[in-house]
Amino acid sequence: MLVVGFDPRSDVADLLDGVGFGVGVAMPVWRLSLKSRPERIEVRRWIRGRLSADLDTHTLVDVLLVVGELVGNAYIHTTSPRELRVRRSDVGVLVEVSDGDVQHPQEMDSSDDRWGGRGIQVLIELATSWGVRLEDGGKVVWALLPLVEPRFAPRTG
């Protein structure tokens, strides 16, 4: 589900409350500045350091994929990546990446002849919902990832 162009103070609160983030409950929000453009491997280490003890492997991999897409897109498609924010609840993980560009992400036709162009498809496949909101003269692209069970049954025999 894509949600675009809503009031972040009310609609995100309603969305998160509706999926168990409990807006009235203080939830830790981890923040990483992207202004110095930390290497993506450092961003992955930062995520693992905050979430690996609390998430199953499958959910952690999904979070790392989405974070990689959102941070990578902020680096490639904007001149002003700002911040990565991550918050966990009993039902999922909220990932937000802010930048100084108001232009919304555009879905591209994927092609075997070109690297890239699949980021929105990754969000559609992995996130319960995702969206874009304007914030401080830029935007925040966010994705809500559910806590998941293994997608593939182990091979037997």
> pLDDT of the chain along its 157 residues, tens only?
444 433 343 344 445 555 444 443 446 899 999 999 999 999 999 999 999 988 889 999 999 999 999 999 999 888 899 999 999 887 889 999 999 999 877 766 666 665 555 678 888 889 999 999 999 899 999 999 998 755 554 555 5
Q: Which helix (H) or strand (E) holds 133?
A: strand 129-135
pLDDT of residue 91: 80
- Between CA 77 and CA 81, with CA 104 as vertex, the angle to 5 degrees is 40
Domain boundaries, the chain: 2-146
- Residue 81: left if φ>0, alpha if ψ -120 to 50, beta else—which one? beta
Indicate the CATH number of 2-146 among 3.30.565.10, 2.20.25.190, 3.40.10.10, 3.40.50.12280. Answer: 3.30.565.10
